[in-house]
Structure 1
Amino acid sequence: MSTAVATREGAGTNLVIASDQTFFNDAQRAALVQMGLGDAPRGDIEAFFHQAKRSGLDPFARQIYMIGRRSKQGNQWVTKYTIQTSIDGFRVIRDRKGTFRGMEEHWCGPDGVWREVWLEEGPPAAARITLYLDGFVKPVTAVARYDEYVPLKDNRPTGQWGKMPALMTSKVAEALALRKAYPQDYSGLYTSDEMAQADRGDVAPEAVPVPVVTQEAAQPAGDGLERRRPSRDWLKDAAAAPTQAALGDVFHAAQDAGDLNVAVRNPVTGEGHPEFIALGAYLRGLKGSKPVEDVVDAEVVEEPVKSWPVADIPNGVES
């Protein structure tokens, strides 16, 4: 498989990964910081570069990305990074191989009877994908169980899993089948659909760790920021938001709660010279790290993107 990162014709920017590169350049590293990876260890960034290069997927076009999640190990919370892509990214790799001849998809309920189309109101129990590939003696089949991959919040499916459970389960099964067929190409890569369930239980996603400032924080007076605890953990909610539209919902919920002017640490300045900004300004800065919409198969499912009014952030900065 070619290791050349796919780029659009004429898109000769500093973010294009050259064929002779061995690591991200300065412009690319700056973009990674803006994407929420400023605190990722060098080893994880090296692995991210390696996967982007070998897969030929563009990390700056959100074809491939790295997600940090806080997970509990013993009595400590640690950040573990996972390299993810969408099912479309998997299909790009598949089509480059030139061996794909088609696939079949089926769903079943608790009765175990496979159906070509799922018309029930509730979610299927499982989805099955069968791939037909040149060079294989038999078709490659994989099964994904709905209850093993559905992300839950308050025991209810979240995001597209609540709207299109049959499609989402099928996409997971397709990723499993492709990895089963071509482990060399897909090893270490996971789709966002497969990893959605990783945010359940005692695992929480993390974008950039920015602690909320308490009343006792040392900060010069006169900046107009509020030194108090917000009504809820908006940073956690923002990190869990899958799209810009979902992040906009967090922004407006914080606005309704009167928390947009609560002080948080600016991640750009670092620990050595801490600077504090308004929560609303911080949320605005996260927009670039989120995809604009959810991608469902080959169709774009658009969600209404709400406005982010600077006037509602007393000490916000236009960006």
Structure 2
Amino acid sequence: MTALVQHHQGFTPAQLDIIRKTCAPETNNDEFNLFIESAKGYGLNPMKRQIMAMVFSPKDPKKRRMSLIVEIGGLRAIASRSGRYRPAGDPTAFEMDAEKTATNPLGISRAVVTVFKQDDRGQWHPVVGEAWWDEHADVTDEWAWNDQAGKRQPTGKKTLSNTWGKMPRLMIAKCAEAQALRKGWPEDIGGLYEQAESGGVWDENMLPTEAIEAHATEVRQQMIGKRAGEYAIQFAMGEPIQMIAPGQIYDRIAEYVRGLDTTMEVRDFRARNKEALRRLWGDDKDAGLSISEMMDARTEELEREAENEAA
């Protein structure tokens, strides 16, 4: 019994603990057990970051589901073990007839990847996978505070994730190749998804722990209605915290601070929002300095007014 416990599925208890924390952090016990068994069945090692588990809608029991996320190299490895896989001989074919926009910088409409599978008679047959940009690109709606509505609302703008913006050809090509591999080897690869198909949660340059933390951060932001890049600002004491988009934060703070009547109110606002203002400076030094200088100028202005009244 002891030996089985110490090396369950080839992992020690300490390794299993690391795997759960880094590769399957939101799984419940049943999902984690299934994840480990699936990794074993597919011959993929979570400790080598070959397979991860993503839980969608973790807070909604009716919608909750776990998906297995595998890098493209892992999918190729599974197909190769069949002995009937041959990689594409030609480069990925891209159709570039879409309009170039902020969410499609190269104007890619789709990517097509062809791999080859050998049948029982030894004949090789092409297996084609295609991925359409508008179905796979990691594009999200931008949200911002609406003063009239008194709540956050979609602005009508959409944003493309950093990874898809930096490597658009690579990302859409991986989606197309994953489609081809699932089509050609459904019994071996069915139910597995490449990282690019997972909504851009994991960046290939991230360590596993960094990637999982990025995902955890995104989940927390969704739970509190926050979009990445926004800043949590509390204007008047006792008022609800508002999420302010980067492009609006200077104007919103300037408008509020100009309406303050004492230096104490300016200092209080600054102290209550210290962390948000520090993060803004870290994200955008110029914007952070501009806001700091604006508040300094307002403080000096109020001090002069107080001195004049006293005189």
TM-score (norm 1): 0.50
Instruction: Structure 1: state its 5+ residue gaps.
Output: 1-13, 112-119, 213-228, 234-253, 260-319
Aligned to 2:85: 100
Aligned to 1:138: 125
Question: Which of 10, 13, 16 in structure 2 is aligned with 1:29?
Answer: 16
- Cα distance change of structure 1 residues 95 and 45 upon mapping to structure 2, 3 Å threshold: same
- Cα distance change of structure 1 residues 28 and 210 upon mapping to structure 2, 3 Å threshold: farther
**Cα separation, 2, equivalents of 1:182 and 1:141:** 12
- Letter of the structure 2 residue corresponding to residue 174 of structure 1: E
Moved more, 157-166 or 94-103: 94-103
Whether 2:34 is the aligned partner of 1:54: answer no
Contact 2:23 2:46 in 1 (8 A): no
Aligned to 1:237: none
Cα deviations by residue, 1:233-283 (Å, 9 ceiling, x for unpaired): 9xxxxxxxxxxxxxxxxxxxx966458xxxxxxxxxxxxxxxxxxxxxxxx
Q: 1:115-154, aligned counterparts within 5 Å? A: 122-135=106-119, 138-153=125-140, 154=142
Structure whose residues are more often helix by fraction: 2
TM-score (norm 2): 0.51
Question: Which of 66, 69, 73 in structure 2 is aligned with 1:84?
Answer: 69
**Cα separation, 2, equivalents of 1:37 and 1:232:** 30
Other structure's SS at 1:138 match = strand
- Deviation, 1:25, is 4.6
- Deviation, 1:30, is 1.7
Other structure's SS at 1:193 match = helix
Other structure's SS at 1:139 match = strand
- Deviation, 1:96, is 2.9
Other structure's SS at 2:125 match = coil
Percent identity, aligned pairs only, is 26
- Cα distance change of structure 1 residues 92 and 255 upon mapping to structure 2, 3 Å threshold: farther
**Cα separation, 1, equivalents of 2:168 and 2:218:** 30
**Matched positions, count:** 193
Q: CA RMSD in A?
A: 4.1
- Deviation, 1:79, is 4.6
**Cα separation, 2, equivalents of 1:70 and 1:30:** 23
Whether 2:204 is the aligned partner of 1:190: answer no
Question: Which of 161, 165, 175 in structure 1 is aligned with 2:164?
Answer: 161
Instruction: Structure 2: state its 5+ residue gaps.
Output: 99-103, 143-157, 203-213, 224-239, 245-273, 280-311
- Deviation, 1:29, is 2.9
Whether 2:178 is the aligned partner of 1:175: answer yes
Contact 2:26 2:54 in 1 (8 A): no
Contact 2:39 2:45 in 1 (8 A): yes
Contact 1:156 1:162 in 2 (8 A): no
- Cα distance change of structure 1 residues 231 and 98 upon mapping to structure 2, 3 Å threshold: farther
Contact 1:175 1:191 in 2 (8 A): yes
- Letter of the structure 2 residue corresponding to residue 189 of structure 1: L
- Cα distance change of structure 1 residues 208 and 27 upon mapping to structure 2, 3 Å threshold: farther
